[in-house]
Structure 1
Amino acid sequence: MSRTVVCRKYQQELEGLSQPPFPGPAGEDIFNHVSAQAWQEWTEHQTRLINEKHLNMMDKEARKYLTEQRGKFLSGDDFDKADGYVPEKPEN
């Protein structure tokens, strides 16, 4: 049986991550309170933010910005969208 958590973003019990996404207290918090679905959605959104906003991950301010956006996204708060991003239409 897979591990479940009460997801902070979706406020319901969902499948959890198999391990913390990164070391430290923030990774442990995500492991204990964020579903695998919400984490997958965040990683996709993070990639869009990096690409569309041309973020340099060597820049401390860019990393700080993404950390703030991750917190907002995973808590269900308002978060920044990628400028110019248009979701792909599913093929029928």
Structure 2
Amino acid sequence: MSRTVFCRKFQQELEGLDRPPYPGARGQDLFDNISKKAWQEWMNYQTMLINERQLNMMDLTARTYLTEQMDKFFKGEETDAVEGYVPPEERGSE
């Protein structure tokens, strides 16, 4: 049976991650409080941010920016928009 966590983003019990996504305290916090569903949504959004803003992941400033966006994303706060992106729930039936 898979483990569940009370997901910080969705505010409900959902399937948890299989392992911490990062080493250290940040990884453990994500492991304990973020669901697989929320993590997958973040990974998709992060990819769009990297591509749209042409971020160089070797640059500390870019990594810091993504960490800040990730924290906002999981807290349900407003994150930077990706131009042209419309979340599925807002697209309606096309």
Decide: shared fold, TM above 0.5.
Answer: yes
Distance 2:59 2:69 in 1: 16
Q: Any unmatched runs of 5+ in structure 2?
A: none
Q: Secondary structure at the match of 1:5?
A: strand
Structure 2 length as normaliser, TM-score? 0.88
**Paired-residue identity, %:** 61
Determine which structure has greater relative contact order: mean sequence separation of CA pairs < 8 Å that are 6+ residues apart, divided by chain length.
1
Question: Residue 51 of structure 1 corresponds to which residue in structure 2?
Answer: 51
Question: Residue 29 of structure 1 corresponds to which residue in structure 2?
Answer: 29
Segments ≥4 residues shifted beyond 3 Å: 84-89
Q: Offset of 1:83 from its aligned partner?
A: 2.1
Q: Any unmatched runs of 5+ in structure 1?
A: none
Q: Offset of 1:81 from its aligned partner?
A: 1.8
Q: Number of paired residues?
A: 90
Q: Secondary structure at the match of 1:13?
A: strand
Q: Please say if residues 20 and 31 of structure 1, whose CA atoms lie closer than 8 Å, have aligned partners that are also in contact.
A: yes
Question: Residue 7 of structure 2 corresponds to which residue in structure 1?
Answer: 7
Distance 1:10 1:21 in 2: 18
Q: Offset of 1:3 from its aligned partner?
A: 0.3
Please report the RMSD computed on the Cα atoms of aligned residues, expressed in angstroms: 1.7
